[in-house]
Chains A and B, each alone.
Chain A
Amino acid sequence: MKILVAVKRVVDYNVKVRVKADNTGVDLANVKMSMNPFCEIAVEEAVRLKEKGVATEVIAVSIGPTAAQEQLRTALALGADRAILVDCAEDLSSLAVAKLLKAVVDKEQPQLVILGKQAIDSDNNQTGQMLAALSGYGQGTFASAVDVSGESVKVTREIDGGLQTVDLKLPAIVTTDLRLNEPRYASLPNIMKAKKKPMEVLKPDDLGVSTASTVKTIKVEAPTARSAGIKVGSVDELVDKLKNQAKVI
């Protein structure tokens, strides 16, 4: 079966972002960009399913700026077979991304689509669910285990109280949680090979999708800063401060 994996180019998770002085957004000029960590886990899972003989082809897709080709090359180096870039503006809403992915799903007809559960920049946690709604497929979100057998997939999900397992008819949508797997590193020979793998570039217009949004960002501010307090010298002093100064115990 064919697996489609969606990947997003985001600011690297270790970067401490700064809000722009004019409050229009965060400053991404000259900041290290990487593949969203949850998307890496999605690619790894797809590649493992291919190695197990469950999948025959893994297609990586990104909806983003031209520079997102870098992240698609990374996915190819990790083991994806080919890539599709839908070249468009950087800050599309999750719904617009889901609509573009739906168009790619219609075109490619994968049996399984794997996405990250959320992008670490917008922190929306929406796209996979929206794609599932638009295609009418079942969804296994926040997955920590995926088991494909026959015409269905069992997904173990991380929920507030523990774990839940659901059974979904294929085709289905899965979004990854951090504990699903540990992504591998791309080796140099694989990075070199990835350069020769095919990458198709499409435009939203080619897919006949409008990317208009009903939500606009008015401003972006830095959160109220929390300053360092005091260092106490002993447990006694700590207990005293908590009891008499902060009055929390």
Chain B
Amino acid sequence: MTILVIAEHNNAALNAATLNTVAAAKAIGGDIDLLVAGEGCSAVADEAGKVEGVTKVLLADNAAYGHQLPENIALLVAELGKNYSHVICAASTNGKNYMPRVAALLDVDQISEITDVESADTFKRPIYAGNAIATVQSDAAIKVITVRTTGFDPVSAEGGSASVEAVSSAQDAGVSSFVNEELAKSDRPELAGAKIVVSGGRGMQNGENFEMLYTLADKLGAAVGASRAAVDAGFVPNDMQVGQTGKIVAPQLYIAVGISGAIQHLAGMKDSKVIVAINKDEEAPIFGVADYGLVADLFEAIPELESKV
């Protein structure tokens, strides 16, 4: 049994999500090959070779894979995947984009966002915005799976000594092309992997008030998230959204500020170790999941909290 893990990267560095995905592969058991597909990404392959538990790194370096266009990547992964028992990757927007395409090309069902491995063919995954956990079993010859990275502790980025093997295949479906990208710039830790997350909701009232959360976050070394209400109102960009349709986080500490706690928001953060809610409405559903709740006006409580941590 050999597992193909597809690495998440930006052509320059390996994304930490890959380490959680390799951990899921280890839980399944068997040899682990790591595929690095991109353009000018040999540095990533070298980094991938050092990841604990990886047997072999496959490097597909070609202009066709530069922007992870799913039409091209899926052809490559489906071609390589035929020789594996499992093909897995992180449930990032990239993974979610090309993996179902891979599954369809291999004519098997895909299992999305597993949070636990019971055995090589049985997995757990949340459904209904995390309000139910399904245990599913696959009898597909090739199991195509995406991994919710917060469900698995990352393996070490050091200690491995896998060889790097070049893959010459250059699949270009010729139906899509990359135009441009607008990436939000931030010095704070990445939301999905941060140990502490401070999130603001509609209660923040406007985008300027988020400065308070940024100051608090910087002091705590935290990432800043947001509810959908805050994103829709234009306070912050959408890549900060935590929830069923945004990012799923499970930090050590999640501080929800001015967030009521709708089902869709809870879906994205209720696996956090400690949840703190600061809200002036003591009936807010967020208090139903918070370990520590403070009923207070956030405009007074946040500056005070910032000065005291």
Determine whether the beta carbon of A248 is less than 8 Å from that of B196: yes
Q: Provide the bound-state CA to CA distance between A248 and B94, in Å.
A: 32
Q: Mark A152-180, 1 if CB is under 8 A from B, else 0.
A: 00100111111111111100100001110
Please state if B101 and A164 are interface contacts (CB–CB under 8 Å): no
Least CB distance, A237 to chain B, in whole angstroms: 8
Q: Which residues of B contact A178 (CB under 8 A)?
A: 228, 232, 245
Give Cα distance in the complex from A185 to B128, angstroms: 25
Interface residue count for A (Cβ, 8 Å)? 80
Chain A residues with CB under 8 Å of B135's CB are: 217-221
Q: Which residues of B contact A218 (CB under 8 A)?
A: 122, 135-137
Can you give 8 A-B contacts (C-beta < 8 A)?
A: A124-B110, A124-B112, A159-B94, A160-B239, A162-B182, A164-B181, A166-B67, A239-B309
A130 & B100 in contact (Cβ 8 Å cutoff):
yes
B180 touches A165 (CB 8 A): yes
Choose among A11, A138, A165 the residue with the greatest number of B CB atoms under 10 Å from its CB. A138
Highest count of chain B CB atoms <10 Å: which of A11, A213, A231:
A231
Contact code string B271-309 (vs A, CB < 8 Å = 1, else 0): 001111000001000011111111110000100110011
The stretch of A63-71, A91-99, A104-112, A188-196 in contact with B is: A91-99
Binary contact track A136-154/B, C-beta < 8 Å → 1, others 0: 1111011010000000001
A161 to B191, CA, bound (A): 10
Tell which of B140, B245, B253, B288 touches A228, judged by Cβ atoms closer than 8 Å.
B288
Chain A stretch 107-141: residues in CB contact (< 8 A) with chain B:
117-118, 120-134, 136-139, 141
Q: A154-B179, A213-B109 are in contact. Are A249 and B309 (CB under 8 A)?
A: yes
Across the interface, do B244 and A123 meet the contact criterion of CB distance under 8 Å?
yes
Q: Contacts A214-B139, A229-B291 hold; do A223 and B101 have CB atoms under 8 A apart?
A: no
Nearest CB of A to B2, in Å: 19
Give the B-binding residues of A (Cβ under 8 A): 11, 13-14, 16-17, 19, 26, 93-95, 98, 117-118, 120-134, 136-139, 141-142, 144, 154, 157-169, 172, 177-179, 213-223, 226, 228-232, 234-236, 238-239, 241-242, 246, 248-249
A179 to B127, CA, bound (A): 22
What class of interface size applies to chain B in its complex with A? Answer: 35 or more
CB distance B237 to A123 under 8 Å? no
Q: B126 to A235, Cβ gap below 8 A?
A: no
Query: Could you say which of A131, A154, A160, A222 contacts B133, with CB atoms under 8 Å apart?
Result: A222
When the two chains form their complex, are residues A242 and B181 in contact, meaning their CB atoms are under 8 A apart? no
- Residues on B facing A (Cβ under 8 Å): 67, 69-71, 74, 92-94, 96-105, 107-113, 122, 126-140, 173-184, 192, 196, 220, 228, 231-232, 237-239, 244-245, 247, 252-253, 263-264, 270, 273-276, 282, 287-296, 301, 304-305, 308-309
Contacts of B136 in A (CB 8 A): 215-218
Knowing A166-B177, A214-B109, say if A231 contacts B100 (CB, 8 Å): no
A163 to B176, CA, bound (A): 17
Closest to B282 in A: A231
**A223-B291 CB under 8 A given contacts A214-B108, A214-B109, A242-B253:** no
Alpha-carbon gap, A157 to B94, bound state (A): 11
* Residue in contact with A93 in the complex, picked from B92, B109, B238, B239, CB distance below 8 Å: B109
Neighbouring B residues of A162 by C-beta, 8 Å: 181-184, 237, 239
A123 and B184 within 8 A (CB): no
Known: A142-B96, A215-B111. 8 other contacts (CB 8 A): A94-B100, A121-B128, A166-B67, A168-B176, A178-B232, A238-B294, A241-B292, A242-B292
Closest to A240 in B: B308
Interface contact A228-B100, CB-CB below 8 Å: no
Q: In the bound complex, do residue A94 and residue B109 qualify as a contact, i.e. CB atoms below 8 Å apart?
A: yes
| Residues on A with beta carbons closer than 8 Å to the beta carbon of B126 | 123, 223
